[in-house]
Chain A
Amino acid sequence: MSNPILAFSATRRMRSFRTILTVTAYAGMLLLIAILMLKGMFGTSVTIQSMQQGVRCYLILTAAQFGLLVLIGPAMTSGAIAGERERQTLELLLVTNTRSFRIASGKMLESYAMLALLIVSGMPAMCLTVVVGGVSFSQVLVSMLFLLAVAFGTVCVGVFASACCRTSVRSGVMSYRIIALIAVITALPFIFGYPRNITDVVYDSQQYAALTKDGALKMIHPLLYCNPGFGLVALLQDQTSLLSGGSLENIPGFGTATMVQRTQYQQWGRLLCTYLMMDRAGGQSIALISSGAIAVAGSVLMGIATFLIRPRRKRVIGD
């Protein structure tokens, strides 16, 4: 490895007992969920019921991994730079010929590798759903790739917060705040409506019928692409027909209406319009754009983090 910070941090992390514990707990928890949900379905022929249960299990496992990554990512990276400050080793690195970008990227890649290891360790549990049926291996792979993109985003947020703060605790708190802020800001289109008049398109049956995949992609508010949760829902919708397949049918007053008619219900209008656009655009495309948006945002945060840790900014009075 050409980046000494990456090699060195990885060595130290892998020697820590906490790492073994984290990976074991993560993989064990997912396996436990899978086994509890799918017990009695192994060794029998594939039925519609087993496939439905496989899909449910896949949804829960993917959502659980998503939640865990958002929770674990900041905790894992909060000490990346702040920890070096606490140990007073950051200056020692800065006086070597290691540029601040190498320090920031090394720390980020090391934490990212750890999260990637967690995602891979969840693979056996995910693959149990393939065995039962209802989910293909390629779908599992695609969702893992999306989770890797989410992991990249959370790690970049963590490194950025770590570069801003003096202690790991503050950095961890700041990371969670940033993630909460991103979740709220990128969900604003649901609350305050679209600048582009999405409902006009949906209500006009001719316009809606003529709407292409690219057109639908453009109709979705750009902020929504920056919301990893939206990307995940779009992907799972594409893979499993999560929304149209079940729960919405049970909402009172919705059962007999067509999907376009449902959008006229004020409280659900924007949400369902977005769903229709999502359905037309294709979940994989949305997840891909969402991954790209996460990557760009993460890179920007990494750039700022690099700027923040460069030498000759700190001021120390006297001795």
Chain B
Amino acid sequence: MLKIEHLTKHYGTFPALQDLSLEIPERQLHGFLGPNGAGKTTTMRILATLMTPTSGRASVDGVDVVRKPHEARKLIGYMPDFFGTYDNLTCREYLDFYGRCYRIGAKERQRMADQLLELIQLGDKRDTYVDSLSRGMKQRLCLARSLIHDPKLLILDEPASGMDPRARADMKGILRTLREMGKTVLISSHILPEMSELVDSLTILNRGRLVLSEDVKSLAARMSGNAPLEIRLAEGCGEEAVDAVVVCLKELPGVAEILQPEPYLLQVRLEGGDEQCMQMLREMTARGLPVTDFHRIPMNLEQVFMEVTQDE
């Protein structure tokens, strides 16, 4: 659906985006992450035809966004990280106006506006003035605006920023519905835990360069293989028992590091796969050590993010 090839953008001599290549298949929620100044918004603005790249190309469903911006705009719905709403206008009129800008016929506009207002759970607010809506509602209305011409690709720049947890949950639900409807969504956000729950694949940019682009499932599998083990010991088992566990662990092959963040909690970094892990569990059980919990620390997108953006 979306193909980016060697996309580069320089502002004067400052490289905002360097040689970005990326491909996003249809019907995917793709996360776009990166620290401030990484080039996410620049990429999104190029894709939204608001800016031309210094070099490289990008196409949506085979249509080049640089050479054929007018055709590309029919395929793209863009929601920036600000509301962009008007006063003195009701929700339905707001959507109707943008529908007219896309030259959609009156009946079709009305049908789309009604459907979208239901989708974003603002069906009962259709005749309410936009400026009287809450922040979360305005954000959802802006999402509906970007959908009024039924685009194939949605580009959402920080769609949940500034929302309360309830509004964010609503937004997540709407995005899942959009995926079920067959839309491809490129979404940037700083709320990493929610992104990891929501997206199918993700790309991390840092200083204008791509540092990671991967399917979330494969990333999770890869990361969990290297994740540290957490061993919880029985409360009040005594220092001697804890020392015995540490001695036991040190004797085992593949143990690279042992940390003790709490008196009865150990974190072990293991150089090796599941075999070493199984051996460790067998050994501790055989020695009768007071282990109450033994598990790998689950993958955390925030840790991945910090790790891949740290080296740059």
Q: A314 contacts which chain B residues (CB < 8 A)?
A: 50-51
Q: A48 on the interface (CB 8 Å rule)?
A: no
Q: A89 contacts which chain B residues (CB < 8 A)?
A: 84-86
Q: A4 contacts which chain B residues (CB < 8 A)?
A: 97, 100-101
Q: From the candidates B36, B42, B49, B74, name the one contacting A312 in the complex (CB within 8 A).
A: B49
A87 to B41, CA, bound (A): 19
How many B residues have CB within 8 A of the partner chain?
40
A88 close to B80 (CB less than 8 A): yes
A15 close to B73 (CB less than 8 A): no
Q: A95 on the interface (CB 8 Å rule)?
A: yes
Question: In the complex, which residue of chain A has the Cβ closest to the Cβ of B71?
Answer: A97
What 9 A-B pairs are tightest by C-beta distance, nearest first? A318-B37, A4-B100, A96-B101, A15-B88, A89-B84, A98-B101, A12-B88, A8-B97, A88-B82
Whole-angstrom distance from the CB of A306 to the nearest CB of chain B? 16
A69 to B51, CA, bound (A): 38
Q: B84 contacts which chain A residues (CB < 8 A)?
A: 87-89, 91-92
A115 to B149, CA, bound (A): 34
A91 to B80, CA, bound (A): 9
Q: A67 on the interface (CB 8 Å rule)?
A: no
Q: From the candidates A8, A88, A315, name the one contacting B83 in the complex (CB within 8 A).
A: A88
- Whether A95 contacts B50 in the complex (CB less than 8 A), given A15-B88, A315-B11, comes out as yes
How many A residues have CB within 8 A of the partner chain?
27
A277 to B173, CA, bound (A): 76
- Whether A311 contacts B50 in the complex (CB less than 8 A), given A4-B97, A92-B80, comes out as yes
Q: B74 contacts which chain A residues (CB < 8 A)?
A: 97
A318 close to B41 (CB less than 8 A): yes
Q: From the candidates A8, A311, A316, name the one contacting B41 in the complex (CB within 8 A).
A: A316
Q: A93 on the interface (CB 8 Å rule)?
A: yes
B102 close to A96 (CB less than 8 A): yes
Question: In the complex, which residue of chain A has the Cβ closest to the Cβ of B87?
Answer: A12
Q: B128 on the interface (CB 8 Å rule)?
A: no
Question: In the complex, which residue of chain A has the Cβ closest to the Cβ of B12?
Answer: A315
A7 to B93, CA, bound (A): 11
Known: A8-B89, A93-B101, A311-B51. 13 other contacts (CB 8 A): A4-B97, A11-B93, A12-B87, A91-B84, A95-B73, A96-B73, A97-B74, A311-B69, A312-B49, A315-B11, A318-B16, A318-B38, A318-B41
Q: From the candidates B16, B48, B97, B103, name the one contacting A95 in the complex (CB within 8 A).
A: B48
Q: B27 on the interface (CB 8 Å rule)?
A: no
Question: In the complex, which residue of chain B has the Cβ closest to the Cβ of A7?
Answer: B100
Q: A16 on the interface (CB 8 Å rule)?
A: yes
**In B49-85, which residues have CB < 8 Å from any A CB?**
49-52, 69-70, 73-74, 76, 78, 80, 82-85
